[in-house]
Each structure stands twice: as C-alpha cells, then as structure tokens.
Structure 1
C-alpha cells in the first residue's frame, strides 16, 4: 500500500469519484486488493442515483421495497464499512489535474448548507471516474410548468423523500426507466393514467443475440409489465406528450401519436387530465471531468456521448479509468461489473501484477460485462430519438430554461445568423450558459442547430475547466494549505 487516503499531503493509490454502483464496486475491489482508496461523492449517502434511499430521520422501515437488487447494494455497503476506504461524502469534485510528478490531484469543494464552502484536494496515483449520468430532456410547450418533473426525478423524490410529485401522474418520454418509474409511483399510491412511450418495443427484436444472452432483462420487463397490469396502467407506445396545459401548475397533457420519425400525426391528439407529469428521454453520461482532460469519447446508439474505454475500463488518458454510465448507459448490474473490472485493473497496474487480470474471475466478469453492454446498446438503439421530435416545438417554447431562450430564438440564430452548432448558438443566444451549463437544454440546442434530429453532438463533449459551479472564493484560496 502506498500513501494514506486520509492524509492530503500523502498521495493515496486510487481516488474514486462517485459512490454509486460502479464507484462502490471499484473502491471496495481495489481496497480488498491492498490499495489505499479515497472515495469522493457529492451525496451524503452512498448508493448513487439508483440506490437512493431515505435519510435516517425519516425512519423508513422497508427502503428495499423501492428497489430491485437491494441485496447487491447492502453487500457493497457492508464491504465499504469494513474497509479502510476514506469515504468523503458531501464532496463536489469540480476538476481533476495531472501534476508534473505524474500524480493526479482531485479538486473538490465541501461544506454543509449554510456553511462556508472550502476547497479540498486529494492526490492519487490513479483515478476512477464513476460519475453516473443525468436525465436527457426534450422540451415541448408547457414543460416549464410546476408539476413537470424528470422521470428519474420523480423516482428520486419517492426513494429519498418518500413523497409523490402528484396524485395523478402521467409518465412519458422514452426508455425502460419509464416502466420502473410508473410501477413505483403506482405501488406508492399515485394514479398513473398512462405510460406514454415515444418509441415502440419492436426495435429490440433487431438484436436477438443480445436478448437471448440476457434473459434476466426479459424477466425484469415482465415484472414491470405485470405491475402496470395490476394497477391498470395503460401503455401508449409510439406516442408523446406534445403539450402541457395549466396556469399555476399542470392540469392536463396532450398526447399525440408519432410517426416513425417521431413527428406528431395530425388528428391523433388526446387530452389526459393529471396534476403532474414525470418525463424523460433516457440518460446522458456525465463526462465533463473526463473531457476536460482530453479523454476520447464515442457516440452511443441513442446519440449521446460516452467515454471510449479499453477492455480494462481505462480511458484514452493513461492512469484514468471509468466505470458505469460514463461509458454508456447500462444499468446498475453492468455498472457494478465494470467497477470491479476497473478496480482490479488499477491494482494490476500499480502493483505491476498483470496476472491479476488473467484469472478466471476477471475473465468471467468481462464476459458478463460484454453481454450486458450488448443489451445496453440494443436498448439505446431501440429508444433513440427520431429526427422529427423538434416538430413538437413552437417558437414560443422555452428551450433553455435557465436563460429563457426560446426555440424561435435558436431557429433565428440558425436561419439568420448562420449558426450550425451548439457552441455558436450559445454565443448568439446564451442558450446553455445558465446554472445547469447545458445539461437540461444541450441536446435540444444541438439538434435545433443541426436542423433537427437526435445525432448532433451535445455540449457535454466540450472541454471545460469547471465541471460544477464553484464560488470564486474557493478558486482564490487554492494556493492556501489544504484543510
């Protein structure tokens, strides 16, 4: 073991960023192989977005009821508690740098709400990125009304706060997350008038090998389907919420049938009364820390950008590994497998023990990982946005919520001023320059700039020195000694 993860002046072997499924798996694997590990995460509780769970003061008696695979998480959590890992909760990592001596420095800011934020630096011989993903949103008229929440956001409200976004909640968008969200909301007592899926499910049939190699995924789908039948929740494929109605909050939504390109079919509009809408069109890998260092990316089958990784989960930048959704959306089971492969690979590199990667255990991990990754690619292709979705937008629709930039202004930048990419649109309209830094509007702005469609490169592929907003006072104190 080299260094101590708890001493800011003595480098640890591995810094893991993110304490979700991938980060926990990678951290405990590396620790059990003898490495000193620092685990940094923005949340106060380990588990990431998937294993969000109620705060202790809510005194939830059965948090496992809101999850599948809860046993896997509790096992990882116990291994974390039994390890010597320096778990730093509430640490927001804003950049990672490589020093002249070859070591990495992870820069974070910490401080409870109301406290003065303070900078923290962790030096390490290797870095594992397990930063997860955020929801991809495609705007439509009325999406800024109170009562419209992300599909994953609705699930997070339920898992961590034990609250519902409304009493009558339409679930809409695209992707398998919708089934899980609808089933959870219905089981918790919400009325779900419909699950509105923009894609169909026949696209999975184009990938028979991926389906045959992952029978557990079919079982999961049957479980969710049975739950929807039990709660009498209708499923409307090839349809989308194209408008939200209401004054002070959501009162109803318009659901339209879509053609193969996701354009609304005239004469098919149907109004559904509700007081909340949970909507999301899949997830986008959170890769800003990696792209800031020049890590290579790849385009996924659903048009997002993910990190390009080798067979051992290493990025194109030597000494930096990644696992989980950063390499492409694939779910909790795949993330955990990738974390274990990455943790083993780091130990093999730092100890100069390549034999660690040649054992039967790692070979089996890689086989299972590759099977699940093939299914994830099939899933992404089946739910990829069609090029006609921008027809949902009238010129008055807000695309960038932070800066209140409408679709009309973006179209004007393209048609009248020659903008052809998201960066130019940003310079002309400020779209993507708000608090979220394009996470909410990036896909929409890129698609509008490219003339529609879902294949435009989102801003997440840009190099940025700051991955999250930080106070200027923190930047000004960087030359002061670590605390």
Structure 2
C-alpha cells in the first residue's frame, strides 16, 4: 500500500501545503492539535454566529479566502483535529494522540512540519501573577469571541503585534492603559525604507498608530516592563525607560494600575518535534534554535520538509509561501511535476517570499533584544516554573563553572518539567551566552513524549496502527 504525505500543523502553513498538494491531485493527511484549523492567526471564532468585525476587514477577508480555498480541495485532504503529535518513530512514522486519547502510529511517504511557534518568555518579578499573560494568549482571548481580559490592560514588549492588539482590544470594548514599546522610535524610523518592501503592511502600521492617537491610548517608545505587583492577582505594573541595551532606568520608573499585563517579546519556532526526530538545527541571530532547510524547504532528511515558523519567524503570509514551496518539492519527488515546472512555480513563490523577508529583516533589526533585559529578574524570581528554579539557582550554577545547557540542566533541573524548557530555555541560554561569550551553548533534545499524555492512551498500543 502506497503511503501519502502527512502534514503536522493546521495553521496557515499546513493548510497552504495541503491546498498545493491537492491542487495537483495528491491526497494528504493533516494533523492539527486544536479543535479547528487556521492556527493562532486564522482559526476564527470558537462559537458559531460570533462576529469578529473589530479585528478589521482585511483580517476577515484573509480568513475567508484561506478557509474557502481549503474547502474547495477538502475531498483530497484527510483532516484530523484534536490530534497531537507526541513524538516520532525514526524518519518514517509519527506517534499521535488522537481525539479519543488513543495512541496511534501514523506512517508517511513525505512529511511537512508546520508546527508553528510559541512565544518567548521574559522573566521579571511578578511574571507568574494571575493577570500577567503573553501577548499571543491575550489575542486568542479576543479572537475567541468568548472571553475579554479585565481592564485596564497594559501592553509591553516589542514589535508590530503590540499596536495591533491594542487596537483590537479597544475596538472590542476593553480599556487599554498604555502600550510600552522597548525599542526607541528613532531605531524604528531608520528601518522605514526597508519596511516599504511591504507597503500595505507599513501603511497598516501607520493606520494603527493613528487609531491609538485618536483614541488617546498612549504609545511609549523606549519603555519596557520592570515588575508586576499584586497580592494573588495583578494590581499594577512598574515600567521604565529602556537604554539601548534594554537595561531599565529605575530612577525614572513609573507604576501604572492594571488588571491585565500582556507581554510580547517575539516568538520562537516550535522545534520540539524536529529536535526529537534528530533533524539538523542551527541558531538564529537572535539565539533561538531553528531547524535547517534548503531552498526547497527540505530538512536534513530530503523527504521531510519544513514550513512556516519552523525555519524562522516571518509571519502568516510568508508561512504559506514556504509551505507551497515545500509542497512543490514533494510533488517533484513524487514525479507529479517535472523539474522545469516545479522550478517555475517555486521561483514565483520565492520572489514573493523574498519581499517579505526584506520587510521582516527590518522588523527584526528594530525588535532585536537588548542584553540588559536578562537583568530584570530578582534573585528569588522563578525562571523555570515547572521545577521552581530561581535566578539565584542559575547564578550559583554559573558561578560554579557551568558552560552549557546540559550542565545547567543537571545543576538546576531547568527544562526537566512537563513543558521541557519551552518557558525557561530562552532565558537560560541567554545567560549562558553572556557568561561564556559563546553563541552555541548547546541545546537539550526533548524526550519522548514531547507533550504529557494520559496513561489511558497506552491501553491499545501495539494492537492497531493507522496508515494513509
């Protein structure tokens, strides 16, 4: 029996890869851990009849276009929602926890990893208080049409998502106390020419800033979070001007009343599965780990492809283009397309992608994190929430001569909890790079399973398998 391609991740990248395969008559299987397709960007409301008008006309159009195109090819795409990939069996099969919490083996001829990204955690005193959340999580609340965060809301971090979420919150009837962008305005202005590689996005950004000014929502450039305060829940936030290296000037710190603090300092590729599989990885300029891919989105294993944020954070439109290139590679490998036709299509997608990459490079330059931010946690600030390791524990390990992530894990137990380091590895690797002066401080290969699973999942293991 001939196996088909399998796509991991039902966000924009996974959906685009499935569409491209189906357009050329190739059946595939799409595995998505959420109850709906679309990822965090284009999932849509959780309940029927909920209108998301406050998210803007362009968002609604993009949402409808993607889901409409997917629906046209639905007969060739076998979709499994509520299905979590919890590990791999070599380079030819995945272990999946399905919607009934049964563990299944899913074999494939070709694989597209489109697992998306997760938010970068920035520890500071009070970051574990109820009411303090990551910006993407807050945006999911707004998009749910079900939950609204308690106001006033303070938004802090860096990047174009900050003013976007502030506008969405205000349009949804939530009071925003202020937006604190860590990057100085002059640094953003320097990148304006490069940002014009995507003029519509640049104009959208200006439009959001005009909206915030009109609604009297203050936008503070060169300011960032210092500490969150509260007894049992958030009550206020201390913010301060950031120097060029993002070290806060505490002599000018201000305290702002807030019931919700949304912190957004960028995203990191979700590489837990690609790491566990043993694919080749490298480090980005920002220090995060990412899987290595060639011009056809092929990983170090030619039949395994990377799409979307797996190879670097570039946004939804770029994610879909990289996914279409990955699908073209599979079509070429399966002899559905000849080399000349596949190359022609790839060059068309790549030209569009290159414009986004130039735009994204400008965003990355102005949102580049300053080393001073790692000084924010106090000695008793928890860094690893799973194992309750504090900054003092990490300081002690570094003083004792720890040189890499493996050594830090053995000394402090960071990354040994259920999340396997998703929350703490970023801060820990930053500290190690500072202490050792090395860019490569090692990485920790996730253990199987990469996500916790119930014991009930094992009762049928070995009695049945699923092939596509």
Query: 1:51–1:67: 8 Å Cα contact kept in structure 2?
Result: no
CA–CA distance in structure 2, aligned partners of residues 226 and 453 of structure 1? 44
Alpha-carbon distance in 2 for matches of 1:446, 1:476: 38
Do 1:384 and 1:454's aligned partners in 2 also have CA atoms closer than 8 Å?
no
Task: Please give the alpha-carbon distance, in whole angstroms, between the structure 1 residues aligned to 2:94 and 2:6.
Answer: 8
Secondary structure (helix, strand or coil) at the match of 2:109 reads strand
Cα distance in 1 for partners of 2:236, 2:154 equals 9
Contact 1:16 1:23 in 2 (8 A): yes
Partner SS for 1:256: strand
Tell me which residue corresponds to 2:286: 302
Q: Structure 2 length as normaliser, TM-score?
A: 0.92
Structure 1 residues 150 and 325, CA gap change in structure 2 (3 angstroms) = same
Partner of 2:339: 354
Partner Cα distance (2:72, 2:167) in 1: 35
Q: Distance in 2 between matches of 1:478 and 1:210?
A: 53
Asked whether 1:80 is paired with 2:65, we answer no
State the partner residue of 1:6.
Answer: none
Instruction: Give the Cα separation in 2 of the matches to 1:40 and 1:429.
Output: 35
In structure 2, what is the equivalent of residue 111 of structure 1? 99
Q: Secondary structure at 2:397's aligned position in 1? A: helix
TM-score, structure 1 normalization: 0.89
Higher mean alpha-carbon deviation, 35-44 vs 221-230, is at 221-230
Residues 320 and 421 from structure 1, CA distance in 2 versus in 1: closer, same or farther, beyond 3 angstroms? same
Equivalent positions of 1:184-333 (< 5 A) are: 184-204=168-188, 210-333=194-317
User: Does the 8 Å CA contact 1:66/1:159 hold for their aligned counterparts?
Assistant: no
Distance 1:333 1:67, change over 3 A: farther
CA contact (8 A) 1:297 1:461 kept: no
1:52 to 38, 43, 46: 43
- Alignment match, 1:61: 51
1:11-35 alpha-carbon deviations (Å, 9 max, x no partner): 5421011111111001111111121
User: Residue 12 of structure 1 contacts residue 36 of structure 1 at CA under 8 Å; is this kept in 2?
Assistant: no
Alpha-carbon offset, residue 211 of structure 1: 2.5
The correspondence for 2:403, drawn from 411, 414, 420, is 420
Query: Is the aligned partner of 1:363 residue 2:347?
Result: yes
Q: Does the CA contact (< 8 Å) of 1:199 and 1:238 recur in 2?
A: yes
The 1:451/1:332 distance shift into structure 2, 3 A limit, reads same
Where does 1:146-185 land on structure 2 (aligned, <5 Å)? Answer: 146-185=130-169
CA gap 1:126/1:262 in 2 versus in 1, 3 angstroms:
same
Higher mean alpha-carbon deviation, 308-317 vs 295-304, is at 295-304
Q: Deviations over 1:261-314 (max 9, x none)?
A: 111114110111111101121000001211222322333233222222211111
Q: Give 2:371's aligned residue.
A: 387
Compute the displacement of 1:144 (Å): 0.8
Q: 5+ unaligned residues in a row in structure 2: which ranges?
A: none
SS in 2 for 1:469: coil
Aligned CA distance change for structure 1 residues 166 and 40 (closer, same or farther; 3 Å):
same
Q: Say which SS state the counterpart of residue 277 (structure 2) adopts.
A: coil
Any conservation in 2 of the 1:293–1:463 contact (CA below 8 Å)?
no
> Would you say the 8 A contact 2:191–2:366 is kept in 1?
no
Q: Do 1:442 and 1:459's aligned partners in 2 also have CA atoms closer than 8 Å?
A: no
Q: Structure 1: which 5+ residue stretches go unaligned? A: 1-9
Q: Which residue is 2:453 aligned to?
A: 470
Contact 2:406 2:444 in 1 (8 A): no
Give 1:209 shift: 6.3
Q: Distance in 1 between matches of 2:285 and 2:39?
A: 24
Take 2:175 and 2:31, find their aligned partners in 1: how far apart are those partners? 38
Larger displacement relative to structure 2 (249-258 or 158-167)? 158-167
Go from structure 1 to structure 2 and tell me whether the alpha carbon gap of 1:15 and 1:139 turns closer, same or farther (over 3 Å shift). Answer: same
